[in-house]
Amino acid sequence: MSISSRPLLLLRFKIKYPDNFFLLRGNHECASVTRVYGFYDECKRRCNVKVWRAFVDTFNALPVAAVVAGKIFCVHGGLSPDLVTMEQVRALARPCDVPDHGILNDLLWSDPSDTAADWEENERGVSYCFGRAVITEFLRRQDFDLICRAHMVVEDGYEFFHGRQLVTVFSAPNSCGEFDNSGAVMNVNEELLCSFEILKPLAENLATCMARIEAAFWSRRQQVEAMLNEALAVQAQKELELAEAAPPPLPEPGPAAAPEPQRVPPRKQRIVDQLDLSDDDDEDDDEAPSDRLHVDPESVLHGTPPRGSKLKHFPDAS
């Protein structure tokens, strides 16, 4: 979720549930801090500067503290050395920017400390750190049972301090992408008993998410395979019905009978028959007229064309 989407989501919840959804101002909900941590840049990049100014005007109007059932004091940061009664909180003018010092600044920036006797300088360079004695005195004077605050990254998402008189609740797991802390949400029932819902860091959330995606994938794959098998079965049934309804195929014609070969007498035999070579002809050769065509029997047997023929003669042919 982008930086600008988070306050938008919270504001939508406030609009939808105005009587049981309450927003408190934190130290980041001011013009100077939003310029440092990217909120201003995102508003300017995605929309314009007017959108950022509208957010800042909304931040300046947010309340800074709340009391649950008259016993649980809720604030983003902590206590202030100038805070004596709740009337001082109610008297804070709104809308207003966060000043450099004073009750409003301390309520948004101060932190509890194990080492502080009462009040000491804060390592953040803003506001103070307060000790156990300050917490006990504040609860006694205001008749509260618990201080609930945020403002610090804690490993398990929540952490008690000073005998469960103060609890830090940090709801963002993997803060800034630099820590492996869990997030937490505190629930308070009608009897003012507190319980916590833990938001695991990204590594565990990612494993759970991947397992859910994998289960959904295999479930979807089984559904697709079932649909595919059903479609194939329907197609096979249609093909079977079409095959049964089609007329029987015509018989294929057999192979054509081969034509009988034509008997052609051998060329040599025909020539010999035409010439009628015989013993009688040999005896009459001397009496034959001189103009008779002379045929050499040997050349006839070898297929040599007679003299006067137009066929070409290839002496090398045998």
Q: Confidence band (pLDDT; 50, 70, 90) for 266?
A: low
Counting residues of the chain whose pLDDT is more than 90, the rounded percentage is: 52
What tokens does 67 get? Answer: 């009391």
Give the least confident one: 207-221, 253-267, 288-302: 288-302
Q: Determine the average pLDDT of the residues in 159-183.
A: 89
pLDDT at position 143, please?
Answer: 96
**E strand spans, the chain:** 65-68, 72-75, 111-112, 119-121, 128-130, 146-149, 158-161, 166-169, 183-188, 194-199
User: 128 and 120 in contact (C-beta within 8 Å)?
Assistant: yes
Mean pLDDT of the chain: 82
pLDDT at position 255, please?
Answer: 66
Counting residues of the chain whose pLDDT is more than 70, the rounded percentage is: 74
pLDDT at position 61, please?
Answer: 95
pLDDT at position 218, please?
Answer: 83
Write out the catalytic residue numbers: 28
103 pLDDT above the threshold of 90: yes
Q: Write the pLDDT tens digit of every residue in 235-262.
A: 998 888 888 887 777 666 666 666 666 6
Q: Determine the average pLDDT of the residues in 53-62.
A: 95
Q: Determine the average pLDDT of the residues in 99-117.
A: 94
76 pLDDT above the threshold of 70: yes
